[in-house]
Chain A
Amino acid sequence: MSQRDHELIEHILRGSHSAFAELVDAYKDRAFTLAMRMLKNRADAEEALQDAFVRVFKSLKTFKNEANFSTWLYRIVYNVCLTAIRKRGEHLLVKLDDEDCKNEFSSGEISPLEALESAEIQQIMDVEIKRLPPNYGAIFTLFYVQEMSYDDICTVTGMPLGTVKTQLHRARLLLKKNVERHFTERPIVPQKL
C-alpha cells in the first residue's frame, strides 16, 4: 500500500472527511472503469461505485493496513457490481467455445500485425474492450488497467487461480477475434502522410 494511502486512511479514521474525498478522487476513475466493464451502463456504474465508496467509508475501521487498499476497494466494487448484475437477472458468465475464439485472419488479405498497426486500432480496442462480457471485462481490466497480479485478481473476484487464468486467456482471445473482425469485414484504407 502506498504511503499516501496509509496517511489518508489514518486521517479518515480520525474523522477527516477531506481525506476521504482525496481517496475517492485518487481511485474513482480506475474503480469506475471496472464498474463500467461489468455493468455496461454509465448510470448503473456510477450508482454502484457510489454505493461501494460509502461501504468503504463505513467499514474502513475493519480494513487491515497490511493489506493493499486498492485490492480491498476493487473487491468491494466487484461485489457491488456482481449484486447489481444478479438483481438485473443477467448472467455474469458467458460460455464461449473454441469456435468463438477462432482466428479471423485465415482468409484475410492483410496480416494481423499490419492491421494492428493501423491508426484506428486504439479506438477499435476501446470499443471491443467495452463489449467484453462482464466476467471477462472485469478480469481483463484488473489485469491490464489496474495492473494486478493473478493472486490479487483471485482476491478481488474470489475465483481460484485456474479460473482466473482461463478467463483471462479467453478474454484476450475473444478480444483478438473481435478486433480482427473489424479488418476482415472491410479493407484498410492506407493513411495519407
Chain B
Amino acid sequence: MKHLSDIELLEYLDGENSSAAGHVDNCARCRSSLAVFKKLRETAVESELERTAAQFTSRVMAEVLTSEEQVVKMQIPHYWRIGILLAAACVIILVVFHFPAAAPDISNMKLDIMQRTLSFEFAPSKTGQIVQNLNRFFKNPVVIMFSVAAIVMSILAGFERVIVQWIKRF
C-alpha cells in the first residue's frame, strides 16, 4: 500500500485533499502521522503570543504626536510663504496697473499774459512719486479691505492645523 506523503497529509488536514479521507480511514500508519500533525497544529495554536513592553502604547502615541507636530511645523512656513507671496503680488499688480506714475501737475498751471509768464509746478521727484502713489494707494478703502483680507487668510491658512486641533480639543 502506498502511503500518503507529508504534504498530502497536511493538505488533508487543511481540508484541501478530501480524496485522502478513504486512505486515512484504512491506514493506521497515515492516521498516526496525521495525528502527529494535528497535535502539532493544536500546540501551535495554543503557543503564547509575544508581549510588548508595558510602555509600548505610550511610546507609539508619543511618536504619533511628534510626527503630527512635525507636519504642522512643516506646513506653517509653506502656507505662510504662499499667503505672503500672493498678498505681495496683488499689491505690486495694483500699484503698477491701477495707479499710473505721477505726471507733471498741470492743474495749478498759471498763465499771466501781462507779465508774459507761464508758471506751473514740476512733478515731484521719482521717490516723491512713489511715496505719493503709496500714500494714495493705502488710503484707498478697497485696497485696505483687500490687504486685511489677504493677511487674515494667510494667517488662517498658516495655522489651519493648529486651529483645527485646538477646536477638536474642546
Q: Which residues of A contact B (CB under 8 A)?
A: 14-15, 17, 20-21, 24-25, 28-30, 32-33, 36, 45-46, 49-50, 53-54, 57-58, 101, 111-113, 116-117, 121-122, 125-126, 129, 140, 144-145, 147, 168-169, 172-173, 175-176, 179
Are A32's CB and B43's CB within 8 A?
A: no
* B157 in contact (CB, < 8 A): no
Report the nearest A residue to B65, measured CB to CB. A17
In terms of DSSP, what is the predominant structure of the interface of chain A?
helix
A125-B47, A126-B47 are contacts. A179–B40 as well, Cβ < 8 Å? yes
32-91 of chain B: CB within 8 A of chain A: 32-33, 35-37, 39-41, 43-53, 56-57, 59-61, 63-65, 67
Are B6's CB and A101's CB within 8 A?
A: yes
Tally of B interface residues using CB under 8 Å: 35
Return 10 A-B CB contacts under 8 Å, by A number. Answer: A15-B164, A17-B64, A30-B49, A32-B50, A53-B63, A113-B32, A144-B45, A169-B6, A169-B7, A172-B10
Find the residue from B33, B44, B51 having the highest chain A CB count within 10 A: B44
Q: Select which of A33, A122, A172 is within 8 A of B37 by beta carbon.
A: A172
Are A176's CB and B60's CB within 8 A?
A: no
The 6 closest A-B CB pairs, nearest first, are A116-B39, A144-B44, A15-B168, A33-B50, A36-B50, A112-B36
A36-B50, A122-B43 are contacts. A53–B60 as well, Cβ < 8 Å? yes
A55 to chain B, nearest CB (A): 10
B47 to chain A, nearest CB (A): 5
Q: How far is the CA of A36 from the CA of B44 in the complex (A)?
A: 15
Residues of A within 8 A of B7 (CB): 169
Report the nearest A residue to B53, measured CB to CB. A46
Q: How far is the CA of A172 from the CA of B36 in the complex (A)?
A: 11
Report the nearest B residue to A36, measured CB to CB. B50
Q: Select which of B35, B43, B51, B60 is within 8 A of A24 by beta carbon.
A: B60
* B26 in contact (CB, < 8 A): no
* B165 in contact (CB, < 8 A): yes
B62 to chain A, nearest CB (A): 10
Are B10's CB and A20's CB within 8 A?
A: no
Residues of A within 8 A of B51 (CB): 29, 32
A153 to chain B, nearest CB (A): 12
